[in-house]
């Protein structure tokens, strides 16, 4: 067990870039890959790396995240391990909500005062990757670094959305810029390994994963009280100051899931024959709540390059390049392609399905529907003969029972789409 390290997972703010998926939940609680939540990714990486003391920092719509953590991550009484939620709270020291990533950690530090540890791992709650933090910690100690930043090469198109850095021959970060303009990108090119440079990935981006010496983190947060973010404040000031800031270059699969478009793409990539994010690993498990659900049942459905979770009742004609979440019900004659169906939180009883007294469709996707380039959130009621065809031809906006984001039709949780609707 890696007892020298405590992990802090940043739950993010309002999650506006993932809205409306964050309309009723915090960003780490957004479902992914049919049966998981985003927060399961960094927590699973921690557990696989031997880190058993984990805090999740959040402040918006945290009820469902609290339930998920409570129902999933329980350690036995002989272990010192825990996964705890630290929601923003008023204290004698601060009456404010978290003002940024660094401020969230600053306000939470007192919770760790009685925990024996040498290092603090600060992790993002909205990324998809598998990483052994033990290797990063070993490099951090080997280099006697005050702060180690996980980095990955990216292309110019993506570089403007990340913190970009330059390192010397020893891997020490000498320069750092947060979200550089396109015009200044040339001066931020780095020498990267052949497998990255051949893909045009010449810019060394911060992954938002940091290992701090405990006392250095405390010192930086106290010294720079006006710095509310790591990327915009603490990291640049550590580089400018008398601190050893080391780069740890990660060469595996990693993607940021900060927007609806990136969330959609990351999910659909899981339907590839050999997806870059490996859910089928004998050692690096991705953990989530054990729901003890029955197997899924398919009747007359052509199922191609899709992911199917447990407890689904599928009578669709065709499902292609899609992710179908737990307890999904899909009616006869329906076609679904390039879509994410998040499923349901519970089963409707047979009596509810047979004796409906209102005009609402059941909690399912009805018969003879066509759904393409869409995200159907949990517990939605999609009537019969509904046509949803997302794409660039649609104008982005909020249309009441559905939203369009980057051409993707998003039907928020518990929405009702009546029979015959065409989008």
351 and 407 share one domain: yes
312 and 365 share one domain: yes
Neighbours of 325 (CB within 10 A): 25
Is residue 99 situated within a structural domain? yes
107 and 239 share one domain: yes
* Domain-ending residue, one of 251, 269, 287: 269
Chain mean pLDDT for the chain: 91
CATH at 24 = 3.90.550.10
Position 91 pLDDT exceeds 70:
no
Percent of the chain with pLDDT over 90: 67
The whole-number pLDDT of residue 2 equals 54
Is residue 109 situated within a structural domain? yes
Q: Which of 20-24, 63-67, 88-92 has the lowest mean pLDDT?
A: 88-92
342 and 406 share one domain: yes
Position 178 pLDDT exceeds 90:
no
Position 93 pLDDT exceeds 90:
no
d(CA 248, CA 211): 10
Specify the pTM: 0.93
Q: What is the average pLDDT across 225-235?
A: 86
| Per-residue model confidence as pLDDT tens digits over 303-326 | 999 999 999 999 999 999 999 999
34 and 116 share one domain: yes
| Per-residue model confidence as pLDDT tens digits over 328-366 | 999 999 999 999 999 999 998 888 877 766 778 999 999
Asked if 5 and 52 count as a contact pair (C-beta separation under 8 A), the reply is: no
Is residue 280 situated within a structural domain? no
Is residue 423 situated within a structural domain? no
| Per-residue model confidence as pLDDT tens digits over 14-53 | 668 899 999 988 888 999 999 999 999 999 999 999 999 9
Domain encompassing residue 240: 5-269
167 and 264 share one domain: yes
**136: preceding bond cis by omega (within 30 degrees):** no
Which ranges of 241-373 would DSSP assign to H, the alpha helix?
260-269, 350-354
149 and 212 share one domain: yes
The whole-number pLDDT of residue 90 equals 55
The whole-number pLDDT of residue 148 equals 97
Q: Which residue pairs from 301-307 have beta carbons closer than 8 angstroms and sit at least 24 positions apart in sequence?
A: 305/271, 305/272, 305/273, 306/271, 307/33, 307/34, 307/270, 307/271
103 and 252 share one domain: yes
Q: Kindly tell me the burial class for residue 279, based on how many C-beta atoms sit within 10 Å of its own C-beta (0-12, 13-18, 19 or more).
A: middle
* Domain-ending residue, one of 252, 269, 286: 269
200 and 262 share one domain: yes
| Per-residue model confidence as pLDDT tens digits over 375-395 | 999 999 999 999 999 999 999
Instruction: Look at the chain and report how many structural domains it folds into.
Output: 2
d(CA 337, CA 376): 12
Position 1 confidence tier, pLDDT thresholds 50, 70, 90? very low
Strand partners, 120: 6, 212
263 and 301 share one domain: no
Is residue 289 situated within a structural domain? no
46 and 145 share one domain: yes
DSSP track, 193-260: -HHHHTTT--EEEEEEEEEEEHHHHHHHHHHTTT---IIIIIHHHHHHTT--EEEEE--S-EEE--SH
CATH at 301 = 2.160.10.10
d(CA 170, CA 213): 19
């Amino acid at each position: 067990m890696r007892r020298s390290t405590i992990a802090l997972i940043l739950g993010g703010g309002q999650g506006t870039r993932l809205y409306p998926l964050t309309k009723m939940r915090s960003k780490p609680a957004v479902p992914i890959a049919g049966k998981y939540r985003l927060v399961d990714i960094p927590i699973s990486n921690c557990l696989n790396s031997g880190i058993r003391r984990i805090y999740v920092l959040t402040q918006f719509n945290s009820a469902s995240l609290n339930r998920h953590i409570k129902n999933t991550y329980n350690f036995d009484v002989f272990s010192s391990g825990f996964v705890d939620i630290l929601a923003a709270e008023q204290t004698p020291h601060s009456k404010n909500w978290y003002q940024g990533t660094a401020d969230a950690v600053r306000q939470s530090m007192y919770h760790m005062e009685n925990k024996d540890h040498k290092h603090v791992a600060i992790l993002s709650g909205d990324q998809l990757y598998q990483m052994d933090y033990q290797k990063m910690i070993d490099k951090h100690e080997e280099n006697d670094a005050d702060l180690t930043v996980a980095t990955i090469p990216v292309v110019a198109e993506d570089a403007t959305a990340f913190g970009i850095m330059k390192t010397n021959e020893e891997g020490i970060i000498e320069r750092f810029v947060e979200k550089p303009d396109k015009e200044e990108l040339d001066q931020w090119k780095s020498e990267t390994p052949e497998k990255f440079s051949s893909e045009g990935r010449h810019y060394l981006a911060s992954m938002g994963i940091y290992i701090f010496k405990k006392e250095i983190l405390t010192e930086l947060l106290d010294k720079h009280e006006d710095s509310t973010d790591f990327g915009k404040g603490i990291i640049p000031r550590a580089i400018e100051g008398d601190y050893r800031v080391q780069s740890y270059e990660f060469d595996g699969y990693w993607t940021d899931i900060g927007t609806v478009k990136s969330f959609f793409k990351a999910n659909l990539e899981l339907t590839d024959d050999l997806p870059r994010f490996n859910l089928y690993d004998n050692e690096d498990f991705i953990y989530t709540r054990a729901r003890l659900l029955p197997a899924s049942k398919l009747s007359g459905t052509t199922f191609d390059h899709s992911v199917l979770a447990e407890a689904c009742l599928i009578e669709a004609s065709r499902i292609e390049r899609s992710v179908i979440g737990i307890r999904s019900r899909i009616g006869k004659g329906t076609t679904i392609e390039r879509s994410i169906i998040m499923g349901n939180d519970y089963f409707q009883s047979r009596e509810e399905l047979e004796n409906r007294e209102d005009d609402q469709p059941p909690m399912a996707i009805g018969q003879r529907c066509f759904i393409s380039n869409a995200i159907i959130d949990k517990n939605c009621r999609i009537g019969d003969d509904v046509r949803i065809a997302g794409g660039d031809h649609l104008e982005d906006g909020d249309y009441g029972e559905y939203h369009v984001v980057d051409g993707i039709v998003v039907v928020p949780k518990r929405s009702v789409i009546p029979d015959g609707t065409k989008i």
